[in-house]
């Protein structure tokens, strides 16, 4: 599909989402701004006890190229991925919540197609400081999260005829630590600006692999992959045109270290030694969005998520849909 038509098609549909971003004392105030949340960045506020937040996402990715070691995009047969991720937050205390993120997807590559389970995750969010509304100090809301990703998706002994459409996960237990910072500023009247900054650091356990796997491999591959450490940042800004309509954008940078392999490399489909592991990777992306809020508890946001540049990483175009309800 032509890239420009792909983006035009999904820009109006690409995300419904809402998160509990209005500071605690804003509840019930008619002049409090309504923000759904940007496309990607996490809220800096927890869901307090007695409340929950439901936010199901649908992602559609077209991975039509990969960036090589010299930052050049190399075309490949498109891998389409339609992914479903219903996120659910439940308040534990005034300063803590728990979020569970199951995920599964449908993969397609010009012939082979497969439904597959993905890696699931769960996180504990802890409020370090919660801003009031209206703000009384310059201090933003600050939240610290610990997330664990479980290797529930298939990642090894993949079918060569399915061209990785049967892959759903990475095979590793991954622990991530995230700092979320957020602040709301009034411009005038009902026009507000909300900014967020997410900083995330993740480490993964070694992965035992056989055959074709998420890191490469081939016939006879058997060994251990040590995934590289990963860091990403996400800076977002939202601008409310009025009470209902909001413009938003995320800027994301992802950095991952070398993933090394030890063991028997195996043989690739071309008869050469199979490649296992990954080189250090960098990826920059942007996610513009449009939000509409019916109330402080329900809203939609639509946008596209695309890569801008990268090194040893995928190049993608995506649309995302999510609906969010806060109670």
Nearest to residue 78, comparing CAs of 321, 318, 269?
318
| Distance (Å, whole) CA 127 – CA 94 | 8
- Burial status of residue 259 (CB atoms within 10 A of its CB: 0-12, 13-18, 19 or more): buried
Preceding peptide of 37 cis, ω within 30°: no
| Distance (Å, whole) CA 299 – CA 166 | 34
HEC profile of 54-121: EEEEEEEEEEEEEECCCCCEEEEEEEEEEEEEEEEEEEEECCEEEEEECCEEEEECCCCEEEEECCEE
In total, the chain counts a number of residues equal to 327
Residue 82 confidence (pLDDT) = 96
Residue 269 confidence (pLDDT) = 81
N-to-C CA span, the chain: 40
Residue 287 confidence (pLDDT) = 97
> What Rg do the C-alpha atoms of the chain give, in angstroms?
21
> Which residue, chain included where needed, has tokens 């991720």?
85
**CB 190 within 8 Å of CB 201:** no
| Distance (Å, whole) CA 190 – CA 268 | 60
Residue 323 confidence (pLDDT) = 84
Q: For residues 76, 280, 213 and 57, what is the CA-based torsion angle, rounded to 10 degrees?
A: -70
Query: 222-226 and 230-240 as β-strands: parallel, antiparallel, unpaired?
Result: unpaired
H or E stretch including 5? helix 3-10
Residue 3 confidence (pLDDT) = 44
Nearest to residue 217, comparing CAs of 296, 158, 152, 300?
158
**CB 296 within 8 Å of CB 34:** yes
One digit per residue, pLDDT tens: the chain, 327 residues? 444 433 444 343 333 334 455 554 444 454 678 888 899 999 999 999 999 999 989 999 999 999 999 999 999 999 999 999 999 999 999 999 999 999 999 999 988 899 999 999 999 999 999 998 777 788 999 999 999 999 999 999 999 999 999 999 999 999 999 999 999 988 888 889 999 999 999 999 999 999 999 999 999 999 999 999 999 999 999 999 998 999 999 999 999 999 999 999 999 888 888 988 899 999 999 999 999 988 888 988 889 999 999 999 999 999 998 888 999
| Distance (Å, whole) CA 167 – CA 261 | 19
| Distance (Å, whole) CA 239 – CA 184 | 10
Strands ordered across the beta sheet of 207-210: 207-210, 222-226, 260-264
Against a cut of 0.85, is the pTM above it?
A: yes
For the chain, the domains span: 3-309
Structural tokens at position 159? 């079918």
Task: Give backbone dihedrals phi and psi of 27, rounded to 5 degrees, phi first.
Answer: -55, 125
Whole-angstrom CA distances from 291 to 16, 35, 180, 197, 307 are 8, 8, 21, 19, 21
């Amino acid at each position: 599909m032509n890239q420009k038509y792909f983006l035009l098609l999904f820009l109006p549909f690409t995300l419904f989402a809402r998160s509990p971003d209005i500071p605690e004392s804003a509840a019930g105030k008619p002049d409090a701004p309504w923000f759904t949340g940007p496309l990607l960045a996490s809220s800096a506020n927890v869901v307090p006890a007695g409340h929950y937040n439901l936010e199901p996402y649908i992602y559609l990715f077209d991975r039509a190229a990969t960036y090589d070691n010299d930052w050049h995009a190399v075309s490949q047969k498109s891998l389409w991925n339609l992914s479903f991720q219903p996120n659910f937050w439940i308040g534990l205390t005034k300063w803590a919540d728990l979020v569970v993120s199951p995920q599964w997807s449908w993969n397609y590559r010009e012939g082979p197609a497969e439904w597959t389970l993905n890696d699931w995750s769960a996180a504990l969010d802890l409020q370090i400081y919660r801003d009031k509304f209206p703000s009384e100090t310059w201090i933003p809301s600050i939240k610290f999260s610990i997330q664990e990703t479980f290797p529930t998706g298939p990642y090894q002994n993949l079918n060569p005829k399915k061209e990785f459409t049967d892959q759903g996960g990475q095979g590793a237990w991954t622990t991530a630590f995230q700092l979320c910072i957020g602040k709301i500023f009034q411009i005038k009247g009902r026009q507000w600006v909300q900014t967020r900054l997410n900083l995330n650091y993740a480490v993964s356990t070694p992965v035992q692999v056989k055959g074709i796997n998420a890191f490469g491999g081939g016939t006879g591959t058997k060994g251990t992959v040590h995934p590289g450490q990963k860091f990403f940042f996400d800076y977002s800004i939202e601008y409310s045109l009025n009470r209902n309509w909001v413009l938003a954008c995320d800027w994301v940078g992802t950095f991952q270290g070398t993933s090394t392999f030890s063991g028997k490399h195996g043989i690739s489909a071309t008869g050469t030694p199979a490649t296992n592991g990954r080189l250090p990777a960098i990826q920059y992306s942007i996610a513009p969005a449009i939000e509409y809020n019916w109330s402080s508890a329900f809203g939609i946001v639509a946008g596209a998520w695309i890569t801008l540049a990268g090194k040893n990483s995928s190049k993608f175009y995506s649309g995302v849909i999510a609906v969010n309800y806060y109670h």
